[in-house]
Structure 1
């Protein structure tokens, strides 16, 4: 793997340095996605068809650097999520997966709850059926009942738990909501060397759109045709409301 910017070549320790989070005392949201060259976010409904060895390597590093993995329920179901495996760097335990779900309609027998070293956090509201919430709690989930599932409410709950290094892995609707609320501090985007066509969606959908958010390129890697780009929001993240 070679570094396009800044130089030179990258080994695993250098990858950790390349993707290190800034030192912040409030949730910092990094979003990670893979896309085809023509913008498809999935192949046959799954992101796995777009993955490369380089993307998988960076995926693992990003999880090791994170304090929590944030994901929408639809993506967790479709991709067959389970608990993270490798410990967060500097600790003995992996980051918890935090699933955003308005219905709390998740399978308690899924790997999120049966194949994890730390309890999965379920972020939901009182509008979710009590039976669903109780069933997940009985399966070992850490069920958090919030007033709503706005990005502000989600990040406030993660901040209360001191889970400030946030890694959002999608899906596009959750990413779109974060963009709409100007809550994305960083985007890590892998461009897979494929043309997919079809009717696959974008990496962010929904919301009102609003003015485009300026981002600054702070890193670019390449390996076997794949580009691994890292963008950070322009301006000082500490100034965010």
Structure 2
């Protein structure tokens, strides 16, 4: 087990208590897995205190902290598929999607397959070479423009070509999620980048946002956690589901983006 996994104070909801690092992470699994329906999209992002979604090296990984890595490992263990933009695959160096050994039992208990699937969203159909010849189970999500190029790199059944009606060159993300769910990949973890998150939010496809605030200030011109062509109109409401705090002041939040049951919204 990792030796740098810090204790996490659950400040909300309920009475504050501390989640110690235990094999199988029973507290975090119960907190992060609660209330998930058969189909569910969780977006995970990290940002600095002043809103930067990447560090000085251009990578979100440089904003990560031990607390963020602890929670991130549990979130991945609860997912069927990681949905990510091709640019983020290149920038962040995706090579594998390991499930931490001590979380394999919790993953099996949640009904997940032993290994995660990587679904890469790409308009042009370019599959990063880093993942082509590795051990990852890769699926490409693309539109009409990228389908032929993607099929030249991967078997046809690994290419999800779902052109948008209003922009056939771009993938229809809602249709892509339908295809993934039909393949038994209903629990989706969307890991960015900022443009993909903005597109998912614009299409109202995200059920919850797990956002880590790293205790750093960067300034500069780094993108925000969600950075699309334009703002959401109207802005989308969010309700705080939980708040965790680490000893180094990393804050880990989960925001429910769906209206409460019975609200009429």
Task: Give the TM-score, by structure 1 length.
Answer: 0.89
CA distance in 1, matches of 2:191, 2:41: 10
Which of 136, 141, 145 is the matching residue for 1:127? 145
- Give the whole-Å Cα distance in 1 for the aligned partners of 2:84 and 2:262: 24
State the match for 2:12 in structure 1. Answer: 5
Q: Give CA-to-partner distance per residue, 1:65-105, whole Å, 9 cap, x none.
A: 01111101111111111231115801452210110011121
1:145 aligns with 2:158: no
1:200 aligns with 2:200: no
1:46 paired residue number: 59
The alignment yields a C-alpha RMSD, in angstroms, of 2.4
Partner of 2:91: 78
Deviation at 1:233, TM superposition (A): 1.8
**Aligned pairs, how many?**
235
Whole-Å separation in 2 of the counterparts to 1:179 and 1:92: 27
User: In 1, distance between residues paired with 2:149 and 2:205?
Assistant: 32
> Structure 1: which 5+ runs fail to align?
none
User: What secondary structure, in the 3-state scheme, does the structure 2 residue paired with 1:177 have?
Assistant: helix
C-alpha distance 48-68 of structure 1, shift in aligned 2 (>3 A): same
Q: Which moved more, 1:16-25 or 1:63-72?
A: 16-25
The answer (yes or no) to whether the contact 1:35–1:192 under 8 Å persists in 2 is yes
1:179 aligns with 2:198: no
Change (3 A) 1:28 1:16: same
| Alignment of 1:89 onto 2:111 | no
SS at match of 1:203: coil
Moved more, 229-238 or 213-222: 229-238
* Cα distance in 1 between the residues matched to 2:52 and 2:213: 10
CA deviation after TM superposition for structure 1 residue 207, in Å: 4.5
CA distance in 1 between counterparts of 2:209 and 2:107 reads 20
1:218 to 2:241 alignment: yes
| Contact 2:50–2:219 under 8 Å retained in 1 | yes
